[in-house]
Amino acid sequence: MTEIQDLRTFSDPTGGAPSPPLPDVISEGLAVVFCGINPGMRAAASGHHFEGSGNRFWRVLHLAGFTPVLMRPEDDRDLLAHRCGLTTAVARPTARADQLSPHEFHASTSALLRKIELHRPTCIAFLGKAAYAAISGQRHVLWGRQTATFGGSAVWILPNPSGLNRSFSLDDLVGAYSALYLAYASL
């Protein structure tokens, strides 16, 4: 299995030492690659995806059926054993996703596309509408399976599990992620 890591570093806006980018957890033969908007500051600092006590990703993934046990962020690379991977649309870490500019999404699109074309997952699941809307140029994006593909992979749009996104309850998130699991579990 191959893991890709972007070798750039990002400076800490508080004046601290630069942090390395959050490494992708990706390989060939995956059913789903979950694509977050960008790393949070805690995830970038720890080097593990969906870090933070308020982030519901790991709990939702387990409750939706993707993992047989509740995983922790520090075990994110073990997700490959469940035929799932992790990446972000934009590599630059921020405290909130709304701190990204539309230009950053556009500038990151070709790298994300190459990554998906190289590893050929069955599906890429964008977590939140913002990244996919910016990348695709669509103003109105619906939740769930999209008619378009991205890099040859089916596209799903799922609610962002961030603790800052309280528009969706835990049950709502589990329902949305379960639909994706049911669509791709047998692959």
Question: Active-site residue among 48, 49, 55, 119?
Answer: 49
Q: CA 173, CA 60: separation in Å to the nearest integer?
A: 7
169 CB neighbour count, 10 Å cutoff: 11
Phi, psi of 162 (to 5 degrees): -55, 145
- How distant is the alpha carbon of residue 164 from its chain centre? 16
Which of 6, 4, 3 has the alpha carbon at shortest distance from 21? 6
Neighbouring residues of 114: CB distance < 8 A, sequence distance ≥ 6: 151
Phi, psi of 165 (to 5 degrees): -95, 90
38 is catalytic: yes
Q: How many residues does the chain have?
A: 187
Q: CA 12, CA 19: separation in Å to the nearest integer?
A: 7
Q: CA 82, CA 69: separation in Å to the nearest integer?
A: 11
Handedness of CA 103, 36, 34, 139 (dihedral sign): negative
Which residue numbers are catalytic? 38, 49
